[in-house]
């Protein structure tokens, strides 16, 4: 685990974000057709994933504030423009990944559209935070455990991180998710540092699209639990996936690196490694649609019109 930041460091982060104007625009997500896979970047580590006829949200955070930490880029999709959500996947209990007000709003939105609340999937010992919010069901997984929603298989994968909501509840689990429907597969790593487990994730699950974190790596001690852009590129190489979508950058000021550093640094490293064509940075609210064929050749779908 990274060494706990001191109060001075925390106050500097709060000050960096407090008076900056919020940037970014909101869009309606492009909706996938039957047989297609849709990946919509909402911001930070939040995604809408359309797969196997299901609408899944991973780590949905729509809040403008995390207690005292102000959001710097708007969520790219408004909750009112989401399709009905079948399930929410939470990678761990940190407040920039598990936001209770956002979860309550998502439940209300889906109930309004369908009369039924979504399910929620969490790592071990996180179910108490999700219980009582109004989800239709709460499923807790341990590493490598699988579950099915319709034709979609969801596996909780290992990560190098920690799951405490507070300093005193380090019993909570954490991880990533591999989501598969036939030949279509997406891997959301959750927060993680680099470790030697990504070869096993490749061997067991062979994800084709990898959503990987690239921010919150400075000071260097943070890299024990947060991948740098170069670390993320090595994770991608270990996975041997086809496409990498970067995440966990430019939204909340969580560490000392400049907010605009991670993405250019990743793209520069990818060019030097001959992987530039496999990088797919999405803007907030942007959707990428992948076709159903075995090679998952992509058919680009840019975001729909801006919200009024």
pLDDT score of 168 = 84
Query: Residue 168: CB partners within 8 Å, gap ≥ 6?
Result: none
Residue 130 located in a structural domain: yes
Residue 297 located in a structural domain: no
Residue 222 located in a structural domain: yes
- Count the neighbouring beta carbons within 10 Å of the beta carbon of residue 83: 18
Q: Which residues of the chain have pLDDT under 70?
A: 1-11, 13-18, 293-308
pLDDT score of 21 = 81
- Print burial letters for 169-183: b (CB count within 10 Å at least 16), e (below 16): eeebbbbbbbbbbee
pLDDT score of 209 = 98
Residue 293 located in a structural domain: no
> Tokens 């979609």 label which residue?
152
Q: Which domain holds residue 60?
A: 36-285
Token reading at 249: 């950058």
**What's the pTM?**
0.91
Residue 106 located in a structural domain: yes
Q: pLDDT tens digit string along 148-188? A: 999 999 999 999 999 999 888 889 999 999 999 999 999 99
Token reading at 24: 């970014």
Residue 93 located in a structural domain: yes
The total number of structural domains that make up the chain: 1
Residue 15 located in a structural domain: no
Cβ atoms of 306 and 26 within 8 Å: the answer is yes
Residue 131 located in a structural domain: yes
Q: pLDDT tens digit string along 74-92? A: 999 999 999 999 999 999 9
Distance between first and last Cα of the chain: 44
pLDDT score of 307 = 41
CATH of the domain at 155: 3.60.15.10
Q: Is the peptide bond before 219 cis (omega within 30 degrees of 0)?
A: yes
pLDDT score of 302 = 33
């Amino acid at each position: 685990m990274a060494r706990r930041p001191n109060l001075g460091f925390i106050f500097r982060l709060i000050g960096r974000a407090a008076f900056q104007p919020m940037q970014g625009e909101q869009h309606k997500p492009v909706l996938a057709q039957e047989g297609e896979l849709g990946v919509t970047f909402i911001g930070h580590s939040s995604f809408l994933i359309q797969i196997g006829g299901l609408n899944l949200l991973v780590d949905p955070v729509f809040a403008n504030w995390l207690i005292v930490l102000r959001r710097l880029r708007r969520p790219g999709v408004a909750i009112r423009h989401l399709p009905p959500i079948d399930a929410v996947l939470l990678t761990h209990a940190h407040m920039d990944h598990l936001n209770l007000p956002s979860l309550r709003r998502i439940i209300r939105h889906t109930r309004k559209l369908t009369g039924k609340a979504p399910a929620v999937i969490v790592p071990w010992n996180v179910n108490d935070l999700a219980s009582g919010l109004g989800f239709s069901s709460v499923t807790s997984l341990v590493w490598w455990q699988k579950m099915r929603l319709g034709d979609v298989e969801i596996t909780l994968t290992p990560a190098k991180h920690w799951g405490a909501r507070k300093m005193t509840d380090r019993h909570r689990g954490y991880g990533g998710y591999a989501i598969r429907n036939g030949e279509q597969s997406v891997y959301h790593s959750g927060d993680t540092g680099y470790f030697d487990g990504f070869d096993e994730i490749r061997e067991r699950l062979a994800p084709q699209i990898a959503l990987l974190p690239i921010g919150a790596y400075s000071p260097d001690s943070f890299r024990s639990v947060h991948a740098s852009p170069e670390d993320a590129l090595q994770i991608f190489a270990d996975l041997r996936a086809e496409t990498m979508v970067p995440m966990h950058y430019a939204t909340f000021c969580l560490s000392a690196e400049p907010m605009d550093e991670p993405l250019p640094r990743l793209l520069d490293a990818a060019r030097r490694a001959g992987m530039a064509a496999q990088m797919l940075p999405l803007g907030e609210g942007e959707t990428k649609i992948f076709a159903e064929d075995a090679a998952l050749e992509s058919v680009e779908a840019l975001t729909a019109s801006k919200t009024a």
